[in-house]
Structure 1
Amino acid sequence: MTSPDQPRRNFYGRIRGKTLRASQKTYLNEDLGALQPRDITREDNPDRRPIDPAAIFGDARDVWLEVGFGGGEHLVHMAARNPDVGIIGCEPFINGVAMLLGKIRDAGVTNLSVHPGDARDLMDVLPDASIAKAFLNYPDPWPKKRHHRRRFVTPEHLLPLARVMKPGAEFRVATDIPDYVRQTLEEVPQAGFDLVGQEAEPWEDWLSTRYEQKALREGRTPHYLTFRRR
């Protein structure tokens, strides 16, 4: 668990984009508060006490995690397909959070929790072996070599992820960037995962996202990697 006096981390990436529509502002004002897991931030939990992820959903169901859910289409799709599972989505880009909240209203799913911030802050306070499945779909590629250390598939992110995942838990990575595949195959096993699948076709329950559709339009090939926590 992270020490309460650990220096604050650098965060790279966008927090805000285009001006939000009035409906999106309404979603943020009316819906986000009830969907946020409590005691994630240092302000609410300065001692970084562990939280109970199952308690977020009011029972002892399995809990999944999606890191960087973009516009939220995959997250809502998974929640609708798996109503007996609780899924926490992390996304610091507030425009994406607003898009997700609109999709949650439309779909009527009730098994989602939303952390509108850095996934590392959530992993700081999750107990060991508390997550049964995790998703990393089309993460920011940080294409310049000097920025590769900002990618999610680095020890700074992967070691905390490995700590919070149950033994045997599945970790899925989808990307259209060949060098991201290279780094994923190098770094993820070192963090405590075994590669169990590297495919050109998606998983049976996959929902293509807007980021994947953009990649396909621009002629890039998606890669689907499956790992299992040792």
Structure 2
Amino acid sequence: MSDPVKRSTFYGRRQGRPLRKKATELVETVFPKIRISLEGMQEGGTLDLSRIFAGSGGPVWLEIGFGGGEHLAWQAENNPEANIIGAEYFINGVASLLGHLDENGADNVRIYRGDVRDLLPFLPDSCLSKAFLLFPDPWHKARHNKRRFIQKETLDRLAELMVDGGEFRMATDDMGYLQWMLERTVPHPDFTWIAEGPLDWDRRTDDWPQTRYEEKALKKGLKPGYLRFRRNARG
């Protein structure tokens, strides 16, 4: 059956170096079991998260572009009550996450391989307790800024998807993108910056593990920014 979902234009790599044997085996055998598919979904349809997570009634989290999967796998292992969706287009990243899950044994993760913007319309409103956007591509050139995930329309949709009091975390090592994030999220009526002061953006909380992209940034002498926003209570 063809997929009637209108796909967003994806800008980025779909695959890097060839996968090793173990990674290929995981992609072929494990990935199909935990994959979220939009095949057959009609416009206006909604995914059944209870079915996707085998009846688990735990909170649902979403990581947008999980890279190598280090953060997502850590969260899954340390928060077994949470049902975590990871969205990533890069097949090498999917394989990396599968490897981490194979090592730690976490079974509370489902993967959407694709642009998360295609997934968001099919998630039920008020379903997310946490969302993460960690070290996304900053798209430095001004003409490419429209490719950044943080836009008014995506923030509007995230606000619809998040429960009251839900938390949205962002991180970047690009100060231009950090400013972009703040300029668009701080004034958004549905979000409040969880900060002790105007410069409270330079440290992670204890339940926020380092990613390999962050490690690379620190080795380059870059200073990442970390942002936490709370979804305001609905009136």
Shared fold (TM-score greater than 0.5)? yes
Distance (Å, rounded) in 2 between the aligned partners of 1:201 and 1:64: 22
Give 2:202's aligned amino acid: A
Moved more, 87-96 or 186-195: 186-195
1:20-39 matches, within 5 Å, as 20-37=19-36
1:142 to 127, 135, 139: 139
C-alpha displacement of 1:7? 4.9
Once residues 227 and 218 of structure 1 are traced to their aligned partners in structure 2, the CA distance between those partners, rounded to angstroms, is: 27
Find the residue that maps to 1:199 and give its secondary structure. coil
**Residue 44 (structure 1) shift:** 2.1
Choose from 106, 109, 112 the match for 1:112.
Answer: 109
Q: Deviations over 1:89-126 (max 9, x none)?
A: 00011110011111111110011111111111221111
- How many Å separate the matches in 1 of 2:116 and 2:154? 8
**Aligned-partner SS, 2:94:** helix
SS at match of 2:14: coil
Q: C-alpha displacement at 1:146, in angstroms?
A: 1.3
**Distance in 2 separating the partners of 1:145 and 1:62:** 37
Q: Which of 176, 191, 194 is the aligned partner of 1:193?
A: 191
Q: Which amino acid aligns with 2:194?
A: V
* TM-score of the pair, normalised by structure 2: 0.90
Is it true that 1:158 corresponds to 2:155 in the alignment? yes
Give me the whole-angstrom Cα distance separating, in 2, the residues matched to 1:17 and 1:128: 35
CA offset at residue 81 of structure 1?
A: 0.8
Q: 1: distance between equivalents of 2:154 and 2:138?
A: 15
| SS in structure 1 of the partner of residue 45 of structure 2 | coil
Provide the residue aligned with 1:15 in structure 2. 14
Q: In the alignment, does 2:220 pair up with 1:218? A: yes
Matches for 1:122-137 after TM superposition, within 5 Å: 122-137=119-134
Q: 1:64, 1:5 → 2: CA distance? A: 26
Q: Does the CA contact (< 8 Å) of 2:5 and 2:43 recur in 1? A: no
**Structure 1 residue 207 displacement after superposition:** 1.1
Specify which of 95, 99, 102 is matched with residue 92 of structure 2: 95
> 1:5 offset after TM fit, Å?
7.6
Structure 2 residue matching 1:96: 3-state secondary structure:
helix
- Structure 1 match to 2:71: 74
CA contact (8 A) 2:7 2:118 kept: no
Asked whether the equivalents of residues 6 and 118 of structure 2 are also in contact (C-alpha less than 8 Å), the reply is no
> Which of residues 54, 60, 65 is equivalent to 2:50?
54
- Contact (CA 8 Å) 1:158, 1:191: kept in 2 or not? no
Q: Which amino acid aligns with 1:183?
A: W
Q: 2:45 and 2:178 mapped to 1: Cα distance?
A: 35
In the alignment of these two chains, the number of paired residues is: 224
Displaced runs of 4 or more, over 4 A = 4-7
Percentage of matched positions with identical amino acids: 43
Per-residue deviation, 1:155:
2.3
Calculate the aligned-residue CA RMSD, in Å.
1.7
Gaps of 5+ in 1: none
Residue-by-residue CA offset, 1:18-49 (whole Å, 9 max, x unaligned) = 11112111111000011112xx42x3213441
Shift in Å, 1:193: 1.2
> TM-score scaled to structure 1, two decimals?
0.92
CA contact (8 A) 1:155 1:191 kept: no
Per the alignment, residue 175 of structure 2 pairs with 178
Q: Return the letter of the residue paired with 1:203.
A: T
| Aligned-partner residue type, residue 220 of structure 2 | E
Distance 1:181 1:201 in 2: 14
CA contact (8 A) 1:54 1:61 kept: no
Gapped runs of 5+ residues in structure 2? none
